[in-house]
Copies of this chain bind each other. A is one copy, B any other.
Amino acid sequence: MEFKIHFSARAHTYTKEEEDAVLEAMRNANPLTQGQNLHEFEAKLCRYIGGRHAFGVCNATAALELAAQLCCFDKGDEVVIPSHTFTSSAYPFAKSGARIVWADIDPHKRVVTAQTIADKVTSKTKAVVVAHLYGYGADMAEIMEMAKRHNFLVIEDAAQALGVEVEGKMAGAYGDFGVLSFHSHKNISTLGEGGALMVRDKELAALVPGLRHNGHCSFLAKRNDYWIPAMGNVDFPQINGRVFWPNNYCIGEVECALGLKLLDRINVINQKKRERAIRFIDALADFPELEFHRVPSSRHNYHLLAAKLTNGKRDEFIRRMAGDKKIQCVVQYYPLNRYPLYQTAGFGDADCPNADNFFDNMVSFPFHHSLLDSDLDYILQSTQDVLKELRA
């Protein structure tokens, strides 16, 4: 099908200053990976998110893989994960040996809450993944309170929620681990791929450099000759007698140099997306059959613009938007338990009626950075037209 307006596009264009940062790093960064820009980017992420250890990695899935390793799952341990999220929020935890238990979403907030998590927590729950999906920050204070009571780890998947504030604190700053993404589609992107892992615990944080970079580490003994017995050491990152296979999840210096610049304007980018979203939502106030999640504050960065159709005509709506208006609306996020991967892995069952109901009635509008105001007006007008037709 030919579309006038596609769903997907890049996050944003780059400014002259950002292009210059890339050229400067191309010309002068030495080495081109694991250098000064990485350290500065990580320090700036710590300042921006607040207070912990930050590690730049090649993508957000890598950050989730690291978090999953560091959860130290034993046989029988359970991890509670929203069924309504992107697959990378889930599969690394099963790969690391945990049994996935799916949590439902709140029907209005479209993310998990302390209540929907509580419904799935057992004595076997070792960890809970909270995805700030669509760019909305979940109720972290309550969830962390429950984590303390029940002694489980919390992984905040803030891949879609960079710069989102939840009750005075950034998304990604609450959990034992916080995951950030700078992928092509996200509100800022380090050349298409990139991510970061925030770690609260100092001892766990000390394992990440080795886990990220092939198990490279220093020799502990003081050495008189820098090359004896070898230049560097290679060992298993380990804690409490448990050893971890290392990985290579490094991110390059050019990406980090760019990330440093992008952090200066993430708030502006988020603010613009939020204003556009609220304008769009309010312009459709006369169509209550299209339910948005309206949050006119920094708690939502509107990475995505999703709505639920309450008239039971979601498929016909998308069909007409696509066929008549040439606008590519999509559906997100297929309840993970319905995918063959999770069914084959033994996680095909979920008792998540809100997630199922939301997915089966939801529509996600094109909402990328490069949409012109006139594009948005066209989507808005088309939405009104089609909703009116569907009322008839």
Contact = CB atoms under 8 A, between A and B. Distances in A.
Given A214-B91, A235-B340, A192 B332 contact: no
B231 A319 contact: no
Contacts of A115: none
A1 B10 CA distance: 46
A30 to B, nearest CB: 5
A58 B193 contact: yes
Interface in A57-94: 58-59, 61-62, 65, 87-88, 91, 94
A26 interface: yes
Contacts of A22: 22-23, 26
B1 A14 contact: no
A222 interface: no
A114 interface: no
A344 B235 contact: yes
A91 B245 CA distance: 8
Interface in A318-332: 318-319, 322, 329-332
B230 A33 contact: no
Interface in A236-290: 236, 243, 245-248, 250-255
Contacts of A253: 184, 191-192
Contacts of A342: 234
A178 interface: no
A14 B300 CA distance: 41
A318 B227 contact: yes
Interface string A5-38: 0001111011000010011001101111100000
Nearest to A195: B248
A313 interface: no
A22 B20 CA distance: 11
A9 B95 CA distance: 37
Contact of A26 (B191, B214, B252): B191
Contact of A10 (B9, B30, B227, B344): B30
Interface in A300-320: 315, 318-319
A146 to B, nearest CB: 29
Contacts of A235: 339-341, 344
A41 to B, nearest CB: 13
Given A23-B23, A94-B245, 11 more contacts: A19-B23, A31-B184, A33-B192, A33-B193, A191-B255, A225-B315, A227-B330, A229-B338, A230-B339, A235-B340, A236-B344
Interface in A187-234: 189, 191-193, 214-216, 225-231, 233-234
A26 B230 CA distance: 40
